[in-house]
Amino acid sequence: MTARDAGPALVVPPTLVPMGGRAGFRTLFQKELLRFWRVSFQTVFAPMVSALLYLLVFAHVLESRVQVYSGVSYTAFLVPGLVMMSVLQNAFANSSSSLIQSKMTGNIIFILLPPLSYAEIFWAYVLASVVRGVAVGCGVLLVTMPFVHLSLAAPLWAALFLVLGAALMGALGVLAGIWADKVDQLAAFQNFVILPFTFLSGVFYSMQSLPGFWQSVSRINPFFYMIDGFRCGFFGVSDASPWLSAAIVAAAFVVLAGLALTLLRRGYKLRT
């Protein structure tokens, strides 16, 4: 049979052809969700227990000795900080651990080969990090509710900093995962960058209680603005203007996203 006998070729409208990039983005995003949810006891419930222990210890020791905002108990002040700390740490861990595992096992090739743009790869990792961070944050808030009564004075601020903070840490996790060649390097990044910035961001104290020099140091810590802005959503008061905090966090996210997209586009430490 000749080509002429076979009849006219079937022409499919371009709009009906499945776009590999879009399907690939959904697949990668779902894969990242399943990756942490299948071990949710470790990735979601363990951080909830850790935050609850922090609350019980610090609230027991400092409840009667520290009052930050007028009419707000120290336990109530502490809970939003613990929630946001858990969100930030777990959002970072999600994207960074996924990338380093893919690089070490060699299956990063299955992400680079499909028709996925570098922007789709970036957003799949970041959005999955946001989902994990928000899930852990809501879980921490749930387990701490029996110990304190909280009300949302400005829920939009709380939601904004929750999502924006998780996205920023997801982008930072992408950068760390690209940079690190082994687990030891990633652990060093967490121990010498993430943990100090988190614990020096006002989770357990108000910036107003610090000496002038350390207040100035805190103001260059973007983690402080994420936590302070999120806390403003609960109490309606904060150490810095929520508008300023939102602008700084958004600017930091844009910078980190730009760096991550540039490295992904160049295939830095991803293509062998």
SS3 content of the chain, % helix, strand, coil (to 5): 75, 0, 25
- The CA-atom distances, in angstroms, between 230 and each of 114, 133, 178, 197 are 38, 14, 29, 16
With CA atoms as reference, report the closest residue to 120 among 255, 259, 24. 24
Contact present, 112 and 58 (Cβ < 8 Å): no
Residue written as tokens 């991550």? Answer: 260
Tokens matching residue 230: 């999120």
* Res 251: pLDDT: 97
Whole-number pLDDT of residue 22: 78
Question: Per the structure block, which two tokens stand in for 262?
Answer: 């540039």
On whether the CB atoms of residues 66 and 101 are closer than 8 A, the answer is: no
pLDDT at 106: 87
Provide the pLDDT for residue 114. Answer: 84
> Which is it for the CA torsion 191, 209, 227, 256, positive or negative?
negative
**189: closest CA among 175, 200, 203, 202?**
175
What integer pLDDT is reported at residue 272 of this predicted model? 60
210 backbone dihedrals φ, ψ, rounded to 5°: -90, 155
Distance of alpha carbon 107 from alpha carbon 112, whole angstroms: 9
Q: Give the pLDDT score at 138.
A: 96
Which pLDDT tens digits describe the chain residue by residue (272 residues)?
Answer: 444 444 444 333 333 333 344 788 999 999 999 999 999 999 999 999 999 999 988 887 777 677 677 778 888 899 999 999 999 999 999 999 999 999 998 888 888 888 889 999 999 999 999 999 999 999 999 999 988 888 899 999 999 999 999 999 999 999 999 999 999 999 999 999 998 898 888 888 888 777 888 888 888 899 999 999 999 999 998 889 999 999 999 999 999 999 999 999 998 988 76
Q: How many C-beta atoms surround the C-beta of residue 63 within 10 A?
A: 14
Buried b / exposed e along 154-185 (16+ C-beta atoms within 10 A): beebbebbbebbbbbbbbbbbbbbbbbeeeee
Amino acid at residue number 223: F
How far, in Å, CA of 154 to CA of 131, rounded?
A: 22
Is 228 in contact with 245 (CB distance < 8 Å)?
A: yes
Question: What is the per-residue pLDDT for 123?
Answer: 96
> Contact at 8 Å (CB) between 112 and 40?
no
Contact 115, 20 (CB under 8 A): yes
Residues 199, 54 contacting (CB under 8 angstroms): no
